[in-house]
């Protein structure tokens, strides 16, 4: 795709500053810019690259004020990251969209398939499973009995979807995700041995969800584990049985949510966050990476940090004291020594 800066500005609802006829044909990093490249500047840490980059065009915010001369054409927009998302969708090269079912795929005779879908080699669609229109299933995917997969779903290689789970429309599931594995449920008998508690529920994933590679979502003990509309889960996340994650919440890599916890709408949860079981997280909550949440958060749109997590501002104040403790200890010891003299 080759496009002029002027045409791209129209696509991005922006304005051109510089040569509007310069052509770009590949997105690239601002620090690795090349002629014909287009990049963006949203973080001031990268501003210095603007003045040396070989990129032909750079997307910047409407209020950006350069401090030095520069050569690229600027495309000024209201929302840089939103413009970048649009830009990359224009340059995205999707895999072939022809529909076919590989002769090396196993499709149970009682599975329900649409007129248009793709199932690649060595994938398995089990008894009474149903697949929606325009869904693409890559190699080595397992779809269990009675699973329902919606329309326009992309299931990448190696995904395993256990029996009775439900996947909505426009869902993207990346490689090696496991959906519907048993919840971690055991109880001790009189001999002190662990006895498995059968997990007879399922997982329901609603529309427009994206699930990163190697994430695991456990089935409910009874009822359902819910991933609601628009949720985005990063790689390597553990979602336990009977958890409910509500609309448009985003969770970064290596986070874990223990059983029966309920996470509200529009939450932002950082990497390696741990959330204990049987608590509730209010709508709009923001939790800093590596925090541990061990109690319900009831007030909406609050920020939390630390383990156990504190109000974000309170944590920063506490940390400012904590890092001074060695110095304070020395002063205290000196005062005690002076007192004894």
Distance between CA atoms of residues 307 and 168, nearest Å: 35
Query: Are residues 188 and 210 in contact, defined by beta-carbon separation less than 8 angstroms?
Result: no
Query: Quick check: is 241 catalytic?
Result: yes
Nearest to 232 by CA among 207, 257, 199: 207
Rounded CA separation 123/101 (Å): 10
CA pair distance 128, 164, nearest whole angstrom = 10
* Rounded Cα–Cα distance for residues 288 and 268 (Å): 8
Catalytic one of 99, 163, 174, 241: 241
Q: How far is CA 298 from the centre of its chain?
A: 24
Q: For residue 3, give the H/E element and its range.
A: strand 3-4
Pure H helices in the chain = 5-11, 47-50, 80-91, 312-322, 325-340
Query: Are the C-beta atoms of 219 and 239 separated by less than 8 Å?
Result: no
DSSP class of 101: B
The Cβ-side half-sphere exposure at 233, using a 13 Å CA radius, reads 35
CA distance linking residue 268 with residue 264, whole number of Å? 10
Q: Is the dihedral of CA 95, 98, 99, 101 positive or negative?
A: negative
Q: Report, as residue numbers or ranges, the catalytic residues.
A: 241
């Amino acid at each position: 795709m080759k496009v002029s800066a002027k045409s791209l500005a129209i696509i991005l609802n922006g304005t051109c500053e510089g040569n509007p006829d310069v052509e770009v044909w590949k997105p690239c990093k601002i620090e690795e810019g090349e002629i014909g490249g287009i990049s963006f500047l949203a973080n001031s840490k990268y501003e210095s690259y603007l003045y040396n980059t070989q990129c032909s065009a750079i997307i910047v915010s409407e209020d950006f004020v350069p401090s030095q001369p520069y050569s690229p054409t600027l495309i000024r927009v209201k929302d840089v990251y939103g413009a970048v998302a649009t830009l990359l969708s224009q340059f995205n090269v999707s895999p072939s969209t022809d529909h076919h079912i590989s002769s090396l795929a196993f499709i149970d005779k009682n599975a329900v398939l649409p007129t248009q879908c793709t199932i690649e080699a060595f994938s398995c669609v089990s008894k009474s499973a149903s697949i929606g229109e325009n869904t693409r299933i890559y190699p080595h995917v397992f779809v269990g009995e009675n699973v329902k997969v919606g329309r326009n779903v992309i299931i990448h290689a190696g995904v395993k979807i256990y029996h009775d789970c439900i996947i909505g429309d426009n869902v993207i599931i990346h490689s090696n995700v496991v959906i519907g594995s048993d919840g971690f449920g055991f109880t001790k008998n009189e001999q002190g041995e662990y006895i498995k508690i059968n997990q007879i529920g399922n997982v329901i994933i609603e529309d427009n969800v994206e699930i990163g590679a190697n994430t695991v979502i456990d089935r409910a003990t009874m009822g359902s584990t819910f991933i609601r509309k628009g949720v985005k889960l990063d790689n390597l996340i553990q979602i336990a049985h009977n958890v409910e994650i509500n609309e448009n919440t985003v969770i970064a890599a290596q986070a874990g949510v223990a059983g029966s916890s309920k996470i509200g709408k529009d939450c932002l949860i950082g990497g390696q966050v741990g959330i204990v079981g049987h608590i509730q997280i209010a709508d709009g909550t923001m939790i800093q990476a590596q925090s541990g949440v061990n109690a319900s958060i009831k007030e909406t749109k609050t920020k939390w940090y630390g383990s156990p997590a504190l109000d974000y501002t309170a944590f920063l104040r506490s940390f400012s004291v904590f890092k001074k403790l060695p110095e304070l200890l020395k002063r205290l010891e000196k005062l005690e020594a002076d007192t004894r003299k």
